Amino acid sequence: MPAMYQLLAQECSSEVLAIFAYTVYKQHKAEALRAIREKNGTEATQDELETFYLSCCTPSMRKMYVQQAEELMQQLVGKTLELRKRELEQDFLATKVGEKLEVIHTNQQQKRTWKGWAADVSGNLAVNFVTILVIAALLFGFRGLDQMLTEFGQHSGVLHK
């Protein structure tokens, strides 16, 4: 029979995946040998080792080793990417842009106090008051213009009373 690594390498899409699958197999083997030792109080016999090896060579067991290896690789890649992401974030925050963003963030935090909130509300009220004054001035200005033109028209004879 071919060695377990060769069997796993045939089923894996890459050498790295085969190495991970073989690692999963070796871990399973160590657990099985430990269980036999605990159960019998002695090391595994040659028959027990052959039985274990035959059961591990089945397609379903090899597939299980490959699936567990894929999960391990995904976890490794995920943790590696997360670590790299943190490093890039720290590098970014250390740059000028990061420093400017930190200043903006600090300013935003200051506005979240009650004084900042009161200043924002006061500014909004002032803008609303000025808007009301402008609208009132336009309204009264147009009324005054209308009144003036009406009187002019009546005095000039264009409009009759």
Domain of residue 130: give its range.
113-156
84-116 residue pLDDT tens: 999 988 887 777 777 788 888 887 777 677 777
Co-location of 53 and 118 in the same domain? no
CA distance 94 to 140: 58
Tally of structural domains, the chain: 2
Co-location of 52 and 127 in the same domain? no
Query: Which of 87, 105, 129 is the last residue before a domain boundary?
Result: 87
Co-location of 47 and 11 in the same domain? yes
pTM for the complete prediction? 0.53
Residue 126 has pLDDT above 90, yes or no: yes
Co-location of 17 and 64 in the same domain? yes
* DSSP, residue by residue, 67-132: HHHHHHHHHHHHHHHHHHHHHHHHHHHHSHHHHHHHHHHHHHHHHTSHHHHHHHHHHHHHHHHHHH
